Chains A and B, each alone.
Chain A
Amino acid sequence: MLSYFSNPIRFKNLAMRLEPVVIALTATLLCAGLLFGLVFSPADYQQGDTVRLMYIHVPAATLALGVYVFIAFMSAIAFVWRHTLADLAARRAAPIGAAFTFLALFTGAVWGKPTWGAWWVWDARLTSMLVLLFIYLGYIAVWRSSHDPMRSAKFARIVALVGLINIPIIKFSVDWWNSLHQPASLLKAGGPSIHPSMLTPLFLMMAAYGCLFAWLVLTGVRLDLEKAQIRRKRERAPSRPVIAPIEGAHSNG
């Protein structure tokens, strides 16, 4: 399966077919999620309307972690099988992951102020998320550090795989240390502890963010492949003068 889609032409064809479907799905899910989240879902009995920040905070945080796992997985594939597409996908995913991490931190801060009374605390969960943002920025910087893409890719893969250690730290930080952040309420034994009226907009928004990520990576990788194709075509083409020589110009002096 992986080898099948590692063929650039097959991937490009698949991406071009999927892109319109995925962006339409993103728009639909986003509209539905916002409608349910801001209008139909009830206010929390303790937090009031601030609970509506959950519908943008949790999807952003989930995608921040998910995108990093995706990058590490792609880096591992690139390490083992040397698939260029895996490197391209990882490189294109990084700025999106950094944006989601920033959003998770920002929406966490605006949710923290009315509920905890503070924008920021040096809590294990918050600090490890900040570290994730720095890892993302470092990863992006490594890709841009060298003119040799092979060399950048090699170092970027190492950074991605080493940085993976931060993911379980983020996930279990609320269990391992005393934290102001609430413990897991979605992925836990016994199922989610959130009422279905709140779970619906939450899942809709998570799906919308996931589809947006998929669209951005698909279009990004396809663009990189097409640019490479154009570059190769230009290199193969015989060099032509910009202005065509005028016949008989030499004989006329």
Chain B
Amino acid sequence: MVEFLSMGGHGGYIWAGYGVSALILTALIINRYGELREHKKRSMIIDGEA
């Protein structure tokens, strides 16, 4: 496990790259799910009004 994480002594660079990529891609997905949820809530309110 330690050997895998150290990636031949370059673990710092590799995990920083993968970490930031995961962070940004996850942020894009979470942001979109949030927008979808918000929209669904609003449409339900409007449908209720109608």
- List the interface of chain A (C-beta within 8 A of B): 38, 43, 48-50, 52-53, 56-57, 60, 96, 99, 102-103, 106-107, 110-111, 113-114, 212, 216, 219-220, 223, 226-227, 230, 233-234, 237
Contacts and interface: CB of A to CB of B under 8 A. Distances in A.
A46 to B, nearest CB: 12
B48 to A, nearest CB: 13
Given A49-B7, A107-B17, A99 B46 contact: no
Contacts of A57: 17
B39 A103 contact: no
A233 B17 contact: no
Given A103-B20, A223-B35, A227-B39, A48 B28 contact: no
The interface residues of chain B, by DSSP majority, are classed as helix
B35 A102 contact: no
B20 A226 contact: no
Of listed B9, B14, B36, residue having the most chain A CB within 10 A: B14
Nearest to A104: B21
Nearest to A37: B18
A103 B21 CA distance: 6
Contact of A223 (B25, B36, B50): B36
A230 B43 contact: yes
Given A49-B11, A50-B14, A52-B14, 12 more contacts: A38-B18, A49-B14, A53-B13, A103-B21, A110-B17, A114-B13, A212-B25, A216-B32, A220-B32, A226-B39, A230-B46, A234-B46
B29 to A, nearest CB: 8
A60 B21 CA distance: 9
Nearest to B35: A223
Given A223-B35, A223-B39, A226-B39, A107 B21 contact: yes
B2 interface: no
A96 B25 CA distance: 9
Nearest to A213: B28
B4 to A, nearest CB: 8
Contacts of A110: 13-14, 16-17
Contact of B8 (A38, A43, A102): A43
Given A48-B10, A111-B13, A237 B50 contact: yes
